[in-house]
Amino acid sequence: MIVWALIPDWISAIATLLGAIAVIWGLNVAKSTYTANRLSAKALRQSSVAEELIVLSHNIEDAIREMRNPLSFAKIGESNDRRAYYQNRFERVLQHNELFKSLREA
């Protein structure tokens, strides 16, 4: 059996100090790990948003090319009808409305 009265006070003080140092060190390690994980998650989110925007920009480019294609504006028998021309163009824009909506939301 250990008699605690025989252990000097300075040993107890050193043990308390070492315990406090270990807690502080552990908190610093936890903080650095948390910061690294937060930065990693932020970078991952930014890269996924950038990837989505790149794909969306290519889809928008294709949609604009399709809307501006001069060969597909007029249907047979409507080559001189201006109203049909604009109606076809409007319908073409409406086909890609969801694509432009997703671009506005991004």
- Is there a contact between 68 and 85 (Cβ–Cβ < 8 Å)? no
Per-domain residue ranges of the chain:
17-105
Pick the residue with more confidence: 24 or 77?
24
pTM summary value: 0.56
C-alpha to C-alpha distance for 92 and 63, rounded to whole angstroms: 9
pLDDT, the chain, mean: 83
Using the structure block, give the residue that is written with the tokens 């794909």.
55
CB burial of residue 106 (10 Å; 0-12, 13-18, 19+): exposed
User: So what's the pLDDT on residue 29?
Assistant: 96
H/E element, 38: helix 9-67
C-alpha to C-alpha distance for 69 and 55, rounded to whole angstroms: 21
User: So what's the pLDDT on residue 100?
Assistant: 84
Q: List pLDDT tens digits, range 33-75.
A: 999 999 999 999 999 999 999 999 999 998 888 877 766 655 6
C-alpha to C-alpha distance for 15 and 61, rounded to whole angstroms: 69
